[in-house]
Amino acid sequence: MQQAVAAPLPAAGKRSGNFGDKVFAGVAHASGYFVLALLGGIIVVLFMGGYKAFHQFGAFFLVSTEWEPVQEIFGAAVPIFGTVVTAILALLMAVPLAFGIAFYLTELAPMWFRRPVSTAIELLAAVPSIIYGMWGFFVVVPIMAEYIQPAVIDTIGELPLIGPLFQGPPFGTGILTAAFILAIMIIPFIAATMRDVFETVPAVYKESAYGVGCTTWEVMRSVVIPYTRASVVGGIMLGLGRALGETMAVTFVIGNTNRIATTLFGPGNTIASIVALEFPEAEAGSLKLSSLLALGFVLFVISFIVLAISRALLRPGAKS
Amino acid sequence: MSATLATQSLPGPAKNIEVARSLGSQRHRTNQIVKVLCVAATAIGLIFLASILSTLLIRGVGGISLTVFTTSTLPPGSQGGLLNAIIGSLIQTFIGAAIGTPIGLMVGTYLAEYAQQSKVGNAVRFVSDILLSAPSILIGLFVYQLVVTPFGGFSGIAGCIALAVIVIPIVVRTTEDMLRLIPATLREAVIGLGAPKWKMIVLICYRAAKEGIATGILLAVARVAGETAPLLFTSLGNLNWSTDLTKPLASLPVTIYQYAGSPFADWVQLAWVGALLITFGVLAINIGARLMLRRGK
């Protein structure tokens, strides 16, 4: 009591500070736990929503190719196939381009040119998904239908073994077009990650390689890539994670047919596209809605695994 | 081949000048080819951007008129505009950001100031990073199940909540990164003066990192302004004039989606105008955010 009288101000100040600290720290901690709850909530809510479908069809849901709303038979195999195939094809197209861009931006481009080009590539990531869909539908699809697909059918389509993959009517839409649009959409993510990790390579390493007479490409291949390998793969996985869940762009160009495409020009669907398209026709509480939510749950699980791997690979390198 | 190896392994000037020269020129050629391919890759990336932007300009500019901004969406053939969609988008983006920003800010603060190394902190960081890249359509399904179904139908507020969920991880990432850049000496000076921790964070750290944090918020706004998929299941879209948050609410991306796929020429034209508006709006916010961050540094 005496002490409080002797020094009232610091004590009062301390008490209010303590109180403020407790409240602020409490709110901060609560927010942290809220994010954990959010992810948990998404998993639980999607699973609960899809429970009816999982219960009805069991494991059959994952392997059945049937999607018959009239007979109430729903299988996820076609959209899962479409999701995985378009995402992987997109990676095959995007990775070389993204690598070239990252290589150019870190080693080749003149200094003054790097920032504007970097920004322009990153702006590709800022363009909304729906714009890619419109651009794909009104610009890319006609070009594919008129020039690229007929030309490819007449050349690569004639080859043995891989030929059958490049056949079929040239509608312009389909798996390959969707993968192409996806590739453009994920290029900026992969390129930006690669650029950032390439820049973490200590200059001394590169200089010593140049010092013994390496060319720029040899420095890249023998010093930069081995040094950043894990993070580069992490960046590619990040792109894959993004490609798996893209909705609007894919919906516009994939052709939206529930059939496993036997050619790259054939139509198909993805989990995201079938959910976006069929959702308006699904009544609340119906088996169809439950099946769509179950599809959402499957997509979440796939994305989660891919993104978790990506992050595990990116973190240690990125923070060093 | 054995001659090549023998030449390579010898120190000093090459014994076999011919082999050395061909090796050198071969390496040089490979290098040149890779360089050209990389320039080509960059050019292709830039061409895609240019193609998207020029397509939007060519198809969109012609349709811009005053009615676009003064009239709501109307049936085909009756000279409608996009007013309700623009207002709906502004409302949902603003409220979504207003809900998501404080939460994201506090989570970022928690990660940078309270849980740098803790297990819970690492888990939160991991989950936030997952949410950052998680498919946005799933956020829409989540909010549909959580808000739309129990509360009797599609509503603007459900759309706002879905967008807020997307805003949170973006703000978390930039906030944490920016707070971590603040030098320890600054914190120590503030604590040394006797200030409590929360005052250090709010009055000093936030102020020191304000450009970075604001950049994160702007990037989040730019991202959610163009989101379509989560709104399809939450605010649904509305062809009539409405600003009632408890009813379905129009938005520019959803209207573009509905119009672009329609068979009516005037609707498709309006979709292009909407696409032009949203893209250049989003890109302008993006560039503005970058400029601000650069000035802050």
Interatomic CA distance for residues B103 and B125, integer angstroms: 14
Provide the residue ranges of all domains of chain B, joining segments of one domain with +. 2-63, 66-296
Interatomic CA distance for residues B153 and B228, integer angstroms: 18
**Backbone conformation region of residue B12, classed left if phi is above 0, alpha if psi is from -120 to 50, else beta:** left
Say if the Cβ atoms of A119 and B202 lie within 8 Å. no
B55: which 2 tokens?
Answer: 């397509």
Interatomic CA distance for residues A179 and A266, integer angstroms: 12
Half-sphere exposure for A313 (CA within 13 Å, toward CB): 21
Q: What is the pLDDT along chain B (297 residues), one digit of tens a residue?
A: 444 454 455 555 556 777 778 888 889 999 999 999 999 999 999 999 999 999 999 999 999 999 999 999 888 888 889 999 999 999 999 999 999 999 999 999 999 999 988 999 999 999 999 999 999 999 999 999 999 999 888 999 999 999 999 999 999 999 999 999 999 999 999 999 999 999 999 999 999 999 999 999 999 999 999 999 999 999 988 888 888 999 999 999 999 999 998 999 999 999 999 999 999 999 999 999 999 888 866
Which position has the token pair 């623009």? B86
Q: Which CATH architecture has domain B66-296?
A: Orthogonal Bundle (1.10)
Q: What is the pLDDT of residue B20?
A: 76
Say if the Cβ atoms of B142 and A46 lie within 8 Å. yes
C-alpha closest to that of A255 among A273, A270, A267, A246: A267
Mind giving me the DSSP string for B31-54? Answer: HHHHHHHHHHHHHHHHHHHHHHHH
**Low-confidence residues of chain A: pLDDT under 70:** 1-17, 316-320
Residues in chain A closer than 8 A to B252 (CB atoms): none
Say if the Cβ atoms of A127 and B229 lie within 8 Å. no
Residues A193-211 pLDDT 10s? 999 999 999 999 999 999 9
Residues in chain B closer than 8 A to A109 (CB atoms): 42
Q: What is the pLDDT of residue A9?
A: 45
The sign of the CA dihedral B276, B281, B286, B288 is positive
**Which of A119, A126, A216 is opposite residue B222, by nearest beta carbon?**
A126
Q: Which of B138, B172, B290 should we substitute to test contact with A (largest number of A Cβ atoms within 10 Å)?
A: B138
Q: Which of B33, B119, B141, B234 should we substitute to test contact with A (largest number of A Cβ atoms within 10 Å)?
A: B141
Say if the Cβ atoms of B55 and A97 lie within 8 Å. no
Domains and CATH numbers, chain A: 80-275+305-313 (1.10.3720.10)
Q: What is the pLDDT of residue A14?
A: 52
Say if the Cβ atoms of B135 and A244 lie within 8 Å. yes
Taking CA atoms, B73 is separated from A179, B39, B82, B248, in Å, by 33, 45, 5, 14
